[in-house]
């Protein structure tokens, strides 16, 4: 298959996940990886890809804006050209929010906490916009641990095993 991997990343975790996915898929597929802000939807579409993998960070309880808008635009471009993907798959990285945030004084914090619980639904809503032949598989969610207030941290130690299993299901 001809596969594009599109990611958003500020601190490098999602970039690393995207690169690892490329490494796993490259022996059997033609794979290209791009940072969402660096690649135009039409340029991707012009290569006639079979499959797309999208991923990025959770931000303020939502899917990162750059990735969300990239996917929406891509879905529109596909519809305009009456094309559909054979397969899509998605992943996100997130840092667990402490349960006490649910009772925080700040309404904004509480709202983010509530939205955080719904990220799976947010992804489904986004994916449903993309015309695709095969139903997308489940969302792969990876945790960032030792997160600092700046937002950087390390990927959970089991992340490679999770990505391997995800890619195996994607290829099946």
Ligand X SMILES: Cc1cc2nc3c(=O)[nH]c(=O)nc-3n(C[C@H](O)[C@H](O)[C@H](O)COP(=O)(O)O)c2cc1C
Question: Which range in 18-26, 76-84, 101-109, 144-152 contacts ligand X by CB under 6 A?
Answer: 144-152
3-state secondary structure of 54: strand
Q: Which is nearer to ligand X, 10 or 110 (CB)?
A: 10
Q: Which is nearer to ligand X, 59 or 110 (CB)?
A: 59
Spatial distance between the Cα atoms of 18 and 8, rounded to a whole number of angstroms: 9
The 100-139 contact track toward ligand X, x by CB under 6 A, reads: ------------x---x-----------------------
CB of 27 to ligand X, least distance (A): 25
Spatial distance between the Cα atoms of 65 and 56, rounded to a whole number of angstroms: 9
The residues in 20-79 that bind ligand X, with binding defined as CB under 6 A, are 57-61
Bridge-based pairing of strands 154-155 and 2-7 is unpaired
CB of 113 to ligand X, least distance (A): 8
Question: Which range in 10-18, 20-28, 99-107, 128-136 contacts ligand X by CB under 6 A?
Answer: 10-18
Of the candidate residues 4, 6, 9, 123, the single one contacting ligand X (CB under 6 A)? 9
- Both tokens of 41, joined, read 């939807």
Bridge-based pairing of strands 140-145 and 87-94 is parallel
DSSP of 62-114:
EE-HHHHHHHHHHHHHHHHTT--BSEEEEEEEE-PPPGGGGG-S-HHHHHHHH
CB of 144 to ligand X, least distance (A): 5
Q: Which is nearer to ligand X, 87 or 92 (CB)?
A: 92
CB of 121 to ligand X, least distance (A): 14
79: how many CB neighbours lie within 10 A of its CB? Answer: 13
Q: Does 145 bind ligand X (CB under 6 A)?
A: no
Give the CA distances from residue 59 to residues 22, 109, 115, 155, in Å, rounded to whole numbers and listed in that order.
24, 12, 10, 16
146: how many CB neighbours lie within 10 A of its CB? Answer: 9
**What is the contact surface with ligand X in residues (CB under 6 A)?**
9-14, 57-61, 93-95, 97, 112, 116, 144, 147, 151
């Amino acid at each position: 298959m001809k596969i594009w991997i599109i990611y958003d990343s500020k601190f490098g975790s999602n970039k690393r996940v995207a690169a690892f996915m490329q490494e796993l898929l490259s022996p059997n597929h033609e794979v290209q990886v791009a940072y969402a802000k660096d690649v135009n939807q039409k340029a991707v579409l012009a290569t006639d890809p079979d499959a797309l993998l999208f991923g990025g960070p959770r931000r303020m309880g939502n899917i990162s804006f750059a990735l969300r808008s990239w996917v929406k635009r891509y879905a529109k471009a596909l519809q305009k050209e009456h094309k559909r993907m054979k397969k899509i798959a998605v992943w996100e990285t997130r840092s667990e929010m402490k349960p006490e945030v649910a009772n925080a004084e700040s309404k904004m914090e509480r709202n983010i906490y509530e939205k955080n619980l719904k990220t799976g639904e947010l992804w489904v809503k986004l994916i449903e916009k993309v015309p695709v032949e095969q139903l997308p598989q489940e969302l792969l969610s990876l945790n960032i641990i030792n997160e600092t207030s700046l937002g950087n941290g390390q990927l959970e130690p089991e992340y490679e095993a999770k990505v391997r299993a995800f890619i195996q299901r994607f290829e099946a």
